[in-house]
Amino acid sequence: MKKIKYPPLKREWFVCPVCGTKLIIYDNTAVLSGGEYIKCRTCKNEIEIKK
Ligand SMILES: [Zn+2]
């Protein structure tokens, strides 16, 4: 039987560029199309999520 090799799962934090708060964690299998915004709970800025 062949072993199935999974691509290494790399997890990264998306960090607020304004204040450095960790906003969400995403992995490299996540599809981020862009144009999505998340509101930072610390500085209240709306941050565009892009890789
Ligand atoms: Zn912030």
pLDDT, tens only, 11-31:
889 999 999 999 998 887 776
Full residue range of the structural domain in which residue 27 is found: 11-49
Tell me, yes or no, whether 3 lies in a domain: no
Domain count, the chain: 1
Q: Residue holding tokens 């691509």? A: 7
- Strand 11-15 and strand 22-27: the pairing is antiparallel
Tell me, yes or no, whether 4 lies in a domain: no
Are the C-beta atoms of 17 and 10 separated by less than 8 Å? no
Dist. CA 19 → ligand 1 center (Å): 4
C-alpha 5: how far from its chain's center? Answer: 24
Dist. CA 24 → ligand 1 center (Å): 12
pLDDT of residue 6: 75
Tell me, yes or no, whether 5 lies in a domain: no
pTM recorded for the entire structure:
0.65
Dist. CA 51 → ligand 1 center (Å): 17
Tell me, yes or no, whether 37 lies in a domain: yes
Are the C-beta atoms of 38 and 26 separated by less than 8 Å? no
